[in-house]
Amino acid sequence: MIQPLFSLFIVTLVCFTGCFSSVHAAERLNVLLICVDDLRPELNCFGKSYIHSPHIDKLAASGRAFSRHYVQAPTCGASRYTLLTGRYGPTSNGALFQRAGQLKKNPDAVPPSMPGWFRKHGYTTVSVGKVSHHPGGRGGRDWDDDAQPEMPGAWDRHLLPAGAWQHPRGAMHGLAHGEIRNNAKDMDVYQAKPGGDEIYPDGLIVDEAIKQLDQLGAAQKEKDKPFFLAVGIIRPHLPFGAPAKYLTHYKDAKLPATPHPNKPKGKTTWHGSGEFMKYNRWKRNPNTDAAFALEVRRHYAACVTYADALVGRVMAKLDAIGQKDNTIVVLWGDHGWHLGEHAIWGKHALFEESLRSPLIISYKGITKAGTKTDAVVETLDIFPTLCALTNLPQPDFVHGASLAPMLNDPSAAGHPAISYGRGQTIRNDRFRLIQHRDGYVELYDHNSKAGETKNVAAEYPDVAQALSTLLDKRLKR
Catalytic residue from among 19, 35, 76, 387: 76
**CA-CA distance, 299 to 241, in Å (whole number)?**
7
Contact 443, 463 (CB under 8 A): yes
Contact 174, 168 (CB under 8 A): no
**CA-CA distance, 28 to 227, in Å (whole number)?**
9
Residue 151: phi and psi, rounded to 5, are: -135, 80
Query: Which of 62, 54, 26, 29 is closest to 246 using CA atoms?
Result: 54
Residue 338, number of CB atoms within 10 A of its CB:
25
Q: Which residues contact 32 (CB under 8 A, 6 or more apart)?
A: 229, 231, 314, 318, 327, 328, 329, 330
Q: Which residues contact 254 (CB under 8 A, 6 or more apart)?
A: 50
Query: Which of 391, 417, 398, 351 is closest to 81 using CA atoms?
Result: 398
**CA-CA distance, 34 to 26, in Å (whole number)?**
22
**CA-CA distance, 323 to 429, in Å (whole number)?**
37
Q: Which residues contact 122 (CB under 8 A, 6 or more apart)?
A: 28, 225, 226
35 counts as catalytic? no
Contact 327, 319 (CB under 8 A): no
Catalytic residue from among 52, 55, 69, 133: 133
52 counts as catalytic? no
Q: Where are the extended beta strands (E) located within 255-368?
A: 327-333, 338-339, 345-346, 359-362
Q: 272: which strand partners?
A: none
**CA-CA distance, 336 to 474, in Å (whole number)?**
23
Burial of 429 per CB tally in 10 Å (0-12, 13-18, 19+): middle
Q: 427: which strand partners?
A: 417, 432
Categorise residue 344: left if φ over 0, alpha if ψ from -120 to 50, beta otherwise. beta
Catalytic residues: 76, 133
